[in-house]
Structure 1
């Protein structure tokens, strides 16, 4: 697992309307709120005044909405304040024209080259009159003229319905802004008639002009625009409704033109500093799209000299930089990094527990959740993990992040994990890692956040089980010392009989790492653990060792050799100091001769205990296979 670090020392991330059990926000929401507060201090620029109906907008309005490719939205500020879409309409109408007419027919009318001019320049090819691209007004008027009426729906109704499908709700037109544009938009009138003179617009331009002004007067908010951008990021499928609004070929062309032409004469600087296809509008809106990952929308009316929102540009630059969203860094398709989610009862550790401990885990195992992660943890993948951590159920006490199948961890993912660990700690939740390479573990430690980390999921689950048993069980559930007479194997006997059996045992002591039994050894008796822990393992086909179980006080081992030609099938080692009592083979033979009744009762007890453990093992194996 590699860490893809960045030289930036950025802040951390955020998310506004996340349903969850935590009083504190997620790291992504916290981040957005922080940069919103900082960028709100920018007072440069002025709202657009050439359209009288838009002149009196509040310059302090400022909202940020970030929608993932699977439709989860983070929002902060004035994200529900409506404003006119203006030039942000252009890529969506262009996409509809491409779907209606096909690439070749549209290309014959409008080019795909950056003009280097402002949005309202007359950038027409000499001789043909073909506009440079569909993002400038001349090209946008052409794209509007290419949209067909169909199935009883007028051209504009189809345009409006397409915008609505992208946004995921029915949008409407501001008649006041439309009439103001129609009255004051002399340059666009002139452009339309000039295009008609070159046969770029092939019919009466007056209806085209009206439809163009209507599409610019569609009312949206930042949340709508974020979802429209996320639909483009999701290959033209609205991530919430599931509707395929635009085909992938058209989406590819739209995003390509947005990348090179969407920010007009500032397109080069934008692509360099932000690195995402984008579109601005004089209404104060800005959208940016990272294919496969996110759609960003910002609303703030004051504009710069290019006709773009001052705060929209600053916000986009900041988020791209901090979240590593530039297409060069985040070129790989984003998807949820979470492969599987389950609680530890679905994949128990396999440690033999007392009956009381098993019951505690049966009742409380759901309090420890495992999230299996995979792939590259770039922004989109890390976001899905942070979202899951921010929305855990109220009764969850611990969460295990299994990183074994993760390939690369970006700097932004490491920052998000650090803030998530802090968030979990504040809410008294334990974070546990399965991190064989230690990438995330070491980074958290360097940031002052030590968390339990294990090389295998089994070890992490074992840790969680022990924590749950300690929290929800009685003092007797995890005893430090248990004499054989109290063990599950012998407590089925009459107390006097159990004591007689214990009196026949030998006591043995082992240090950490000492081998108690080896594979292939003949039956050496039944071993009762009085204190300490025992680990069992067996050889794997490749020569390595497979850890099977961990046994604690009150547990037994060795008796299974009786059913396998009286030979040991596992290697048994002391895990720390261990004290055992052993009912040796000779002692068992003597018991059969001297007290056959008690010998029979002992065999019954051992058989019942063995059957119970085999049944538990089969149940756990079935759960693992299902998982």
Structure 2
């Protein structure tokens, strides 16, 4: 059976494709030359299933500030929260990402998602006495393991960024003046710039963010990379500061811990469920992808992904799949949201379904949200197109709309 999720993701891209607001990041020469029409989305579940849409899903671009949460998580794992929080705070800044600002009381950067905090955290990796080369390699290796493939650094773009790095150099000198970092200011900015110049794809970013959602276990390779504690604290900071001075509005409206990058990438993470990544280079005045923000707004509303929504339940979806002669009975249970529906459809694609008739038993389902209902119905339609006679056992009437997207309806049975 063909999974309907890529088609749904393509629908979202079509929905935002004509949005042409914003501009590419013109203060970095290579980014100024980016194709503004690039567009892609990828989604990775905590169970390791990756879905993508858009011809640009495998186009490489630099990770930029999306690197910040992953390096923060690495620092937490290497040194522990207490040592990391000695050099960086956890509070939203309410200021631009490159503001020359420190906490008025203790002179620490206020959080690790702004440049001052990210440069300070970068200097913790591999120890304060590490060379730039060893520190950068430690970070590049982390990113590669998170993505599940070998990643590389765009040296040309990194050199270009360094030529215009006066702001970050000023930040580094400020950090040195308060003994927040020990390294030479130029070396600190060099290390941080290499971090931001790592090349990734939208698919890579979805898997990397899903690793945070999965408590540090890479969902595709199964490798334990980060601790659950490091991921929890990282997601907490993303939820409050990942979208800079727009973080409050973002969490109220979208409700997904997120981080943006000026190359046009944007990630979001739902704890225990999935990682999402989008790519579209046009940025708004805050440095966030215009179409990426629209996509996340659409996903949050349509799929019920808002972190504070009552739809947020982690349920298996499938109770059992049994065979009785020519009839296969698929019993569902619990609340069927996107995560449960994806699990249901994935089990149906991998299960050796036999016979001629399929009955979907929803008698133990407490409710369907809109996306869960749509995905399960589309799965039934595709199975029917594959030659099965499909029916639903729904004694409580939890599936209120049985019409498929092609205008036909599903049969119902009173018993089986």
User: Same fold judged by TM-score > 0.5?
Assistant: yes
The question of 1:377 aligning with 2:336 is answered yes
Report the counterpart of residue 118 of structure 2 in structure 1. Answer: 140
The separation in 2 between residues aligned to 1:101 and 1:313, in whole angstroms, is: 34
Shift of 1:382: 1.3
3-state secondary structure, aligned to 1:209: helix
The separation in 2 between residues aligned to 1:97 and 1:53, in whole angstroms, is: 30
Match of 2:252 among 265, 272, 276: 272
Shift of 1:127: 4.9
> Residues 243-275 of structure 1, C-alpha deviation per residue, up to 9 Å, x if partnerless?
111101111110000001000011111111110
The question of 1:443 aligning with 2:401 is answered yes
TM-score, length of structure 1 as denominator length = 0.62
The separation in 2 between residues aligned to 1:161 and 1:246, in whole angstroms, is: 13
> Residues 278-297 of structure 1, C-alpha deviation per residue, up to 9 Å, x if partnerless?
00000100000111111110
The separation in 2 between residues aligned to 1:177 and 1:330, in whole angstroms, is: 44
The separation in 1 between residues aligned to 2:355 and 2:42, in whole angstroms, is: 29
The separation in 1 between residues aligned to 2:158 and 2:310, in whole angstroms, is: 39
**Larger CA Rg, structure 1 vs 2:** 1
TM alignment of 1:293-372, pairs within 5 A: 293-329=273-309, 332-342=312-322, 344=323, 348=324, 361=325, 365=326, 368-372=327-331
The one of the two structures with greater contact order (alpha-carbon pairs below 8 A, sep at least 6) is: 2
The question of 1:92 aligning with 2:52 is answered no
Report the counterpart of residue 18 of structure 2 in structure 1. Answer: 41
The separation in 2 between residues aligned to 1:228 and 1:396, in whole angstroms, is: 40
TM-score, length of structure 2 as denominator length = 0.92
Shift of 1:27: 3.2
TM alignment of 1:57-456, pairs within 5 A: 57-77=34-54, 78-149=56-127, 154-329=134-309, 332-342=312-322, 344=323, 348=324, 361=325, 365=326, 368-389=327-348, 397-440=356-399, 442-444=400-402, 449-455=409-415
- Asked if structure 1 preserves the Cα contact closer than 8 Å seen for 2:394 and 2:412, the reply is no
3-state secondary structure, aligned to 1:172: coil
The separation in 2 between residues aligned to 1:261 and 1:340, in whole angstroms, is: 42
Report the counterpart of residue 595 of structure 1 in structure 2. Answer: none
The separation in 1 between residues aligned to 2:310 and 2:379, in whole angstroms, is: 22
The separation in 2 between residues aligned to 1:202 and 1:327, in whole angstroms, is: 39
Cα 1:396–1:28, aligned 2, differ >3 Å: closer, same or farther? farther
3-state secondary structure, aligned to 1:402: strand
Cα 1:325–1:208, aligned 2, differ >3 Å: closer, same or farther? same
Cα 1:315–1:277, aligned 2, differ >3 Å: closer, same or farther? same
Report the counterpart of residue 29 of structure 1 in structure 2. Answer: 6
Q: Alignment RMSD, CA only?
A: 2.3
Cα 1:399–1:450, aligned 2, differ >3 Å: closer, same or farther? closer
Cα 1:331–1:204, aligned 2, differ >3 Å: closer, same or farther? farther
- Asked if structure 1 preserves the Cα contact closer than 8 Å seen for 2:100 and 2:170, the reply is no
The separation in 2 between residues aligned to 1:453 and 1:190, in whole angstroms, is: 71
- Asked if structure 2 preserves the Cα contact closer than 8 Å seen for 1:293 and 1:335, the reply is no
Structure 1: gaps spanning 5 or more residues: 1-19, 349-360, 460-627
